[in-house]
Structure 1
Amino acid sequence: MGSTAAAIAARVKLGINIGNTLEAVNNSGIPHTTSQEGFWGNPAITQGLVDKYKALGFDAIRLPCSWDQYANASTAKIGDFWLNRVKDVVQYCINADLYVLLNIHWDDGWLENNVTVAKKDAVVAKQKAFWEQIATHLRDFDERLMFASANEPNCDTAEQMDVLFAYHQTFIDAVRSTGGRNAYRTLVLQLPSTSTDLAKTLWTKTPTDPAANRLVVEPHFYTPPNFCILTEDASWGKMFYYWGKDYHSTIEPDRNATWGEEETVDDHMALAKSLFVSKGIPVLLGEYGAPRRSNPLDLTKHLASRAHWMKYVTQQALANGIMPFVWDTGDLINRSTYAVKDQQGLDALLEGAGKK
Structure 2
Amino acid sequence: MSSKVRRAGLALFAATLALAGAAYGVTRAPAANAAVQLTGPQLVADMGAGWNLGNQLEANANGIPSETAWGNPVITQGLIDRVKASGFKTIRIPVSYLGKIGAAPNYTVDSAWLTRIQEVVNYAYNSGLYVLINMHGDGYKSVGGSWLICDASDQTTIKAKYQKVWQQVATKFASYNDHLIFESMNEEFDGQYGNPTQPCYSNIVAYNQIFVDTVRKTGGTNASRWLLVPGWNTNIEYTTGSYGFSLPTDTNRSSSIPSGEQRIMISVHYYDPWDFNGQEDGNITQWGAAATNPAKKSTWGQEDYMDSTLKKMYDTFVTKGYPFFVGEYGSVDKTSADPANNTYRANFAKALVATAKKYGGATAYWDNGYNGQYGFGLFNRSNNTVTQQGIINAIITAVGSTPPSSPPVSPSPSRTSASPSPSRSASSPAGTGACKVVNAVSAWNTGLTNNITITNTGTTAINAWNLVFTLPAGQAITGGWSATYSPASGTVTATNVSYNGTLAPGASTTIGYQATHTGNAGAPTGFKLNGSTCS
- TM-score (ref. length: structure 2): 0.61
Q: Which has the larger radius of gyration?
A: 2
2:164 aligned partner: 129
Question: What CA RMSD, in Å, does the superposition of the two structures yield over aligned residues?
Answer: 2.0
Structure 1 residues 278 and 112, CA gap change in structure 2 (3 angstroms): farther
Secondary structure at the residue paired with 1:217? Answer: strand
Q: CA deviation at 1:159?
A: 2.7
2:50 aligned partner: 15
Matches within 5 A, 1:201-212: 201-209=242-250, 210-211=252-253, 212=257
**Cα distance in 2, alignment partners of residues 178 and 352 from structure 1:** 37
Q: CA deviation at 1:277?
A: 0.8
2:348 aligned partner: 309
Among 221, 226, 231, which residue is 1:191 paired with? 231
Q: CA deviation at 1:248?
A: 3.1
Q: Quick check: 1:244–1:257 contact (8 Å CA) kept in 2?
A: no
**Cα distance in 1, alignment partners of residues 380 and 354 from structure 2:** 25
Matches within 5 A, 1:104-143: 104-107=135-138, 109=140, 114-116=149-151, 118-143=153-178
**Cα distance in 2, alignment partners of residues 112 and 188 from structure 1:** 21
State the AA in 1 paired with 2:322.
I
Structure 1 residues 118 and 4, CA gap change in structure 2 (3 angstroms): farther
2:108 aligned partner: 77
Q: CA deviation at 1:204?
A: 4.9
2:92 aligned partner: 62
Q: Deviations over 1:277-300 (max 9, x none)?
A: 11100101100000111332x422
Q: Quick check: 2:231–2:245 contact (8 Å CA) kept in 1?
A: no
**Cα distance in 2, alignment partners of residues 154 and 317 from structure 1:** 24
**Cα distance in 2, alignment partners of residues 64 and 5 from structure 1:** 25
Structure with greater helix percent: 1
Q: CA deviation at 1:117?
A: 6.4
2:121 aligned partner: 90
**Cα distance in 1, alignment partners of residues 309 and 147 from structure 2:** 23
State the AA in 1 paired with 2:360.
G
Q: Quick check: 1:13–1:318 contact (8 Å CA) kept in 2?
A: no
Would you say 1:322 and 2:368 are equivalent positions? no
**Paired-residue identity, %:** 33
1:242 aligned partner: 286
State the AA in 1 paired with 2:67.
E
- Which shifted more, 89-98 or 201-210? 201-210
Secondary structure at the residue paired with 1:286? Answer: strand
Secondary structure at the residue paired with 2:60? Answer: coil
- TM-score (ref. length: structure 1): 0.90
1:339 aligned partner: 385
Work out the number of aligned pairs and report it. Answer: 341
State the AA in 1 paired with 2:382.
S
1:348 aligned partner: 394
Q: CA deviation at 1:4?
A: 4.2
| Unmatched segments (≥5 aa) in structure 1 | 234-238
State the AA in 2 paired with 1:109.
Y
Matches within 5 A, 1:291-306: 291-296=332-337, 298-300=338-340, 302-306=341-345
Q: Where in structure 1 do 4 or more consecutive aligned residues deviate above 4 Å?
A: 110-113
| Unmatched segments (≥5 aa) in structure 2 | 1-34, 191-195, 370-376, 403-535
Q: Deviations over 1:117-136 (max 9, x none)?
A: 62422221111010011111
Structure with greater strand percent: 2
- More contact order relative to length (CA 8 Å, sep ≥ 6): 1
**Cα distance in 2, alignment partners of residues 88 and 299 from structure 1:** 39
Q: Quick check: 1:332–1:342 contact (8 Å CA) kept in 2?
A: yes
Q: Quick check: 1:113–1:154 contact (8 Å CA) kept in 2?
A: no
